[in-house]
Structures are given as C-alpha cells and as structure tokens.
C-alpha cells in the first residue's frame, strides 16, 4: 500500500496520535453543543396539580389531635406520680 508522506508522518509519530485524539475531542465537543432537532426533543406536557380539602382529612386531623391530647394527659399523670414521691 502506498501512503503519501503527510499521512505516513502523522501515523509514525506520537504527536500524530495526540493530534488525532485532539481532533476527535473537538468534534465530540462540537457535536455535544449543537441543539437537537425539534423532532428529537422531548416535550413534557404541562401538569396542573390541585389540592382539595376532604372530609377524610378533617377526620384524620381530629383523630391525631385526640391522640396528641391523650398522650399529653398521660405524660401529666406520669409526671404527677413521680413528683408525689
């Protein structure tokens, strides 16, 4: 096979390998910064989230408040028992 002198020179030196790597890196960077075509871009539909107040939520809040009050009452009783001694 016959190579021209420029190709043979690049292939024969360590500098040629580094140059090929540098060219490949520049090409990858250039391709990475290019915007995608509109057909390749992903579109995400808008989502509208709404919270509504429900009766179940009111019931759960009331139950939690009752449990909290019961725990506070138990702590008071326990505290009184230890303070009486």
- Residues 29-82 pLDDT 10s: 888 887 766 556 667 778 877 777 777 888 899 999 999 999 888 887 777 777
Give the whole-angstrom CA distance, residue 33 versus residue 26: 11
Q: Mean pLDDT throughout 8-21?
A: 68
User: Residue 66 has what pLDDT?
Assistant: 93
Name 49's Cβ contacts closer than 8 Å, sequence gap at least 6. none
Give the whole-angstrom CA distance, residue 58 versus residue 64: 10
All structural domains of the chain with their residue ranges: 1-33, 57-85
Q: How many CA atoms within 13 Å lie on the side-chain side of 34? A: 10
Per the prediction, the chain carries an average pLDDT of 76
């Amino acid at each position: 096979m016959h190579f021209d002198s420029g190709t043979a020179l690049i292939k024969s030196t360590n500098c040629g390998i580094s140059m090929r790597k540098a060219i490949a890196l520049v090409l990858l960077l250039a391709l990475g910064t290019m915007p995608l075509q509109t057909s390749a871009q992903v579109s995400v539909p808008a989502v509208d989230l709404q919270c509504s107040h429900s009766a179940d939520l009111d019931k759960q809040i009331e139950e939690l408040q009752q449990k909290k009050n019961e725990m506070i009452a138990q702590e008071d009783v326990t505290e009184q028992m230890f303070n009486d001694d």
